[in-house]
Structure 1
Amino acid sequence: MAAPLEVIVSSDSSSQLWNCTVFDLHSGSSLLSYRGGNSSARTLTVLRGEFLLSAQFGKNFINVWEIQRKDQLQQKIVCPGVVTCLTASPNGLFLVAGVAESIYLWEVSTGKLLSVLGRHYQDITCLKFTDDSSHFISGGKDNLALVWRLCSVIQLDLNHTPEPRHILSRHSLPITDLHCGRMGAQARVATASLDQTVKVWELSSGELLLSVLFDVEIMSVTFDPCEYFLFCGGGDGNIFQVALCSQTLSRDRAFHSDTDGNHVFKGHRNLVTCLSVSMDGTLLLSGSHDESVRVWDINSKQSIRCLAHKGPVTNAVIVPAPAHMFLPDSRPAVALPRFSRHLHGSEGDGGESGEVCVRLGLCTQEEAETYLQKADRLNSLMNAVTDKSVFGDGENTKVRVAELEEEVQTLKKINKDLYDFSSQLLTKPT
């Protein structure tokens, strides 16, 4: 059988049989399982397609498996406290974890702790990177979602305290989940909250684009790949599909099913903790506290498969199948180093003598050029090129100006002679 293009990776809180398991998206058959401990919610992540990571529930360490060695826990990354959320950058260079109200950022290649961010006032609940790894977003129990520019976080000046690029502060209760769309720094971000709303933001400006009010608490949220629809998992087990391309122009709206493409997926009996959509946008995956993971056909709104678990589902996501997952003899190209628990390698776990750590300098932290500034710069450049092509440059400019002035005087004289001739012709007696 050929290796699948996409697989389901899920975990539950009981861990009676395994920590997390891999299912075939289309057949529902179990392909792999990873043993050792259990995974807390919003901490399951794939690193570089070679490692599977998840934070141990209620403990201060992260479990690490080589993606193809399912039966053996390879490593434990010890953290300063209990990890509440975890994610890896899509380019595989950085690992970000939420520990209480702080964000810890590691460099994967060296294991060095690059930064500790403390702008949240309560525990962090979710973390997500943009698809180009340039930004990440954090949501917390303090009702805030913060947008961080990665280059400002891993800056060179250690005395400088990084500040978030935007503070998204329109929620009135803790944020339960967030999802970042495509297009890098131009992406749209959706945030879900216990205040029964889901809000859609523009990442580049931090502006609120849409706020949808529901009659239940929203525990999970995701877009489809084309961002035509917003899927919201409710505390009552229902999944709400919101049409983002409807004719409604209001920024604030209440959810009404069966209007403008809005629909409800019914099947779960308890709150929906996680949502994910396949790459082609036809299948929706949902995990719930009713101890099941369901696969839905989005067009028909029907549940086509139910994967039973032994406890409340904590993580369920559709991911492209890593190349090494089904090759038992393969090994990661680079092994993971020992991760530091303290900033800048204190406690003696820093690098070897002579090791050089390269970080982005302050020059990379300048504000991005706006479209108007870019247009003005290009217009000035075009004018300069035009002037140079007409007048030349250096000493030739004065010569060319003199020639043009002389030509203007000649034309003026010709024009005066024509005027005099015409006047004489018109005033000549017949």
Structure 2
Amino acid sequence: MNKESLFVCARSDEPFSILTIDPVSGANCLAFQGNELQNGTINSATFIGQDQTHLCISLEDKSLMTIPMKYKKSKKTLAANSTRSFIGFKANFIVSHPSGDFIFVAADNKIYTWELRGGNMLSIIDEHLREISAFRISTCGSLLASASMDGAVKIWLTSSLISQRNQSSHICSQLGGHSSHTLEVNDLYITSSGMSARIFSVSADYSACLYSLATNQILLKITCDHPLSACCMDGAERRLFLASINGQIRTIDLMQSELPKDSFQRMKVENEQIDNNTENSFQFHNSRIQQLCANLDGSRLASGDSSGAYAIWDVTNGQLLQNGTK
């Protein structure tokens, strides 16, 4: 059985800005010193594939790096022979296919697909009108979701992006999407349901939407009293987690909440910061929440904010289990 770990990455030029943390003890399992970055500021980082033997990092100076990881026996640090690839633009988001054979990069309003074995660019998709502000891939690797500054959410079939080798082709591989948000979408989450997946999105317009790919409909729209910055769901697709720009985190149990019965399925989440109910709110962060992530069984929640602080929570009672600062 694989042991769970928390991947932490800070947008910084300081050493050891990338860590892997044991969520039980809070100890650093692995750290990347970053000498190969040559004082470059990390913009985004992700493991390539599921074996986690390679790390892909994009920098603020518009270079993309693939770093083979070699473990040192004496220290929990990484030695690496880096492969640097200059792509001519700033890569805002990088996601990896679970197979480890492909990566998808969002830059400006375009989506790029690369084959890692040969280093070939397979496709360029230019369907967003404005810059891409959120980017996610499903755990099975079949779906890719992107959202932009104008509030548009689009769903793609990754196999179509991989097979679309003609870069000048105008064939659109978009599966679905919606434009229910009026401002930039700050985060996305895709459930692991294949073609019946649901896409959860949060926006700066104070709203969150749960969209069904199978029916091409908005199942639920939530309005809050602060702009939303991050979101996720548990593995059972029972709980929704929302985070705002002022550090508040809320959870909504879809099985217990009294959801409206009208056709539009709209509900409002009020600010309960002063309430004593800690089961539905998590109080620790004072800055904008950048990331939320739940473990497989939905018992733990991890959060990270713009100041470099991260926290691990017990979802059942809202207790803070671990916290630290990068």
Shift of 1:157: 7.7
1:43-85, Cα deviation, whole Å (9 max, x unpaired) = 43433422111211x2222232223441335222322310011
State the distance in 1 between where 2:82 and 2:163 align.
Answer: 32
Which has the larger strand fraction?
2
Shift of 1:225: 0.8
The size of the alignment, in residue pairs, is 304
For residue 97 of structure 1, what is the aligned residue in structure 2? 105
Q: Check the 8 A contact 1:91/1:132 in 2, yes or no.
A: no
For residues 102-181 of structure 1, what are the structure 2 equivalents within 5 Å?
A: 102-155=110-163, 158=166, 160-163=169-172, 164-181=174-191
For residue 75 of structure 2, what is the aligned residue in structure 1? none
State the distance in 2 between where 1:73 and 1:234 align.
Answer: 39
Shift of 1:13: 2.5
Q: Which of 1 and 2 has higher RCO (CA within 8 Å, sep 6+)?
A: 1
For residue 297 of structure 1, what is the aligned residue in structure 2? 314
For residues 232-247 of structure 1, what are the structure 2 equivalents within 5 Å?
A: 232-245=242-255, 246-247=257-258
Q: Check the 8 A contact 1:242/1:261 in 2, yes or no.
A: no
Letter in 2 for 1:103: I
TM-score, length basis structure 2: 0.86
Bigger shift: 124-133 or 284-293?
124-133
Q: Check the 8 A contact 1:243/1:261 in 2, yes or no.
A: no
1:293-319, Cα deviation, whole Å (9 max, x unpaired) = 10111111011111121xxxxxxxxxx
Q: What secondary structure does 2:317 align onto?
A: coil
State the distance in 1 between where 2:192 and 2:222 align.
Answer: 21
Moved over 4 A (4+): none
Q: 1:218 aligns with which of 217, 224, 228?
A: 228
State the distance in 1 between where 2:164 and 2:227 align.
Answer: 42
Shift of 1:156: 5.8
State the distance in 2 between where 1:131 and 1:81 align.
Answer: 27
Specify every segment of 5 or more residues in structure 2 that has no aligned partner in the other structure, as ranges.
Answer: 72-77
Shift of 1:116: 0.4
Q: 1:39 aligns with which of 7, 27, 42?
A: 42
1:278-301, Cα deviation, whole Å (9 max, x unpaired) = 122111100012321101111110
1:106-156, Cα deviation, whole Å (9 max, x unpaired) = 122322111100011121122212233222111111211111122333446
State the distance in 1 between where 2:22 and 2:278 align.
Answer: 29
1:253 aligns with 2:267: yes
State the distance in 1 between where 2:182 and 2:323 align.
Answer: 35
Letter in 2 for 1:136: L
CA RMSD across the alignment: 2.2
Q: What secondary structure does 2:31 align onto?
A: strand
Letter in 2 for 1:216: H
Q: 1:231 aligns with which of 241, 244, 263?
A: 241
For residue 56 of structure 2, what is the aligned residue in structure 1? 53
Letter in 1 for 2:171: P
State the distance in 2 between where 1:291 and 1:10 align.
Answer: 9
1:204 aligns with 2:204: no
TM-score, length basis structure 1: 0.66
For residue 29 of structure 1, what is the aligned residue in structure 2? 27
Q: What percentage of residue pairs aligned between the two structures are identical?
A: 20
CA distance 1:173–1:28, shift in 2 (3 Å): same
Shift of 1:17: 2.8
Which has the larger helix fraction?
1
Shift of 1:262: 7.5
